[in-house]
């Protein structure tokens, strides 16, 4: 199975998702290192690793919707894992080679935040992909707050975990 190719930035009908100086200044040191410098959290330490509540995960910088609770699963890798993005146009996959290793980095399209990596070892029954994402790049919006925060269009995807 090959990874999806979303290297070009797509137009989005939601112009309010963008990276701002104010948003960057609100980041914790860890959030800054992960989203702006491409760092990775230590495995097993992320805030959302064990979150099982229904809701969606958005970019900590831009607020753009990234992943739904219905697509989260326990991959046993030490980071929150998802089978697919909530809006594929909100992610950019970038090939990289560092220190003799290669892979696919995942970034947010509007916030240009480093999120994590995508691998071909996810659940086959859900497409075979595993989006391995740093909690520090995310903000969780619980289902009961989604409408008030402007994410009502995604309520159907904010289901309890399987």
Consecutive H or E run containing 105: strand 101-108
Q: What is the mean pLDDT of the chain?
A: 89
Question: What does the pLDDT look like over 84-139, one tens digit per residue?
Answer: 999 999 999 998 887 777 889 999 999 999 999 999 999 999 999 999 999 999 99
Selection from 80, 53, 78 nearest residue 66 by Cα: 80
Question: Does residue 50 belong to any structural domain of this protein?
Answer: yes
Residue 4 clears pLDDT 50, i.e. is over it: no
Instruction: Report the C-alpha gap between 45 and 135 in whole angstroms.
Output: 9
Out of 68, 132, 146, 158, which one is annotated catalytic? Answer: 132
Q: pTM of this prediction?
A: 0.87
The confidence score (pLDDT) of residue 102 equals 82
Domain contains 155: no
- Extract the tokens encoding 13: 């009908």
In a domain, 6, yes or no: no
Print the domain residue range for 104.
21-149
Question: Cα separation of 100 and 97, whole Å?
Answer: 6
Give me the mean pLDDT over the 54-75 stretch. Answer: 96
Residue 118 maps to a domain: yes
Give the chain's domain count: 1
pLDDT of residue 159: 80
- The CATH code of the domain that includes 70 is 2.170.150.20
Q: Is 77 a catalytic residue?
A: no
Give the pLDDT of residue 16: 75
* Per-residue confidence band for 162, with pLDDT thresholds at 50, 70 and 90: low
Residue 48, domain member (yes or no): yes
**107 occurs within a structural domain:** yes
55 falls within a domain? yes
Could you say which DSSP state residue 4 is in? P
90: in domain: yes
CA angle 14, 22, 15 (to 5 degrees): 10
Comparing 132 with 17, the larger pLDDT belongs to 132
DSSP letter (8 states) at residue 30: H
**Sign of the four-CA dihedral 43, 82, 133, 48:** negative
The b-or-e profile of 54-68 (16+ CB within 10 A means b, else e) is bbbbbbbbbbbbbbb
């Amino acid at each position: 199975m090959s990874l999806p190719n979303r290297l070009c930035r797509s137009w989005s009908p939601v112009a309010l998702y963008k990276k701002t100086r104010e948003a960057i200044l609100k980041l914790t040191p860890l959030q800054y290192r992960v989203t702006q410098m491409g760092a990775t959290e230590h495995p097993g330490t992320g805030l959302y690793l064990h979150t099982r509540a229904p809701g969606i995960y958005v970019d900590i910088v831009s607020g753009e919707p990234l992943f739904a609770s219905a697509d989260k699963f326990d991959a046993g890798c030490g980071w929150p894992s998802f089978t697919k993005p909530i809006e594929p146009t909100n992610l950019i996959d970038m090939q990289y080679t560092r220190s003799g290793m290669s892979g696919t980095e995942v970034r947010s399209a509007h916030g240009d935040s480093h999120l994590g990596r995508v691998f071909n070892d996810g659940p086959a029954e859900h497409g075979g992909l595993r989006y391995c994402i740093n909690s520090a790049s995310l903000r969780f919006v619980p289902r009961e707050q989604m409408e008030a925060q402007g994410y009502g269009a995604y309520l159907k995807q904010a289901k309890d975990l399987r």
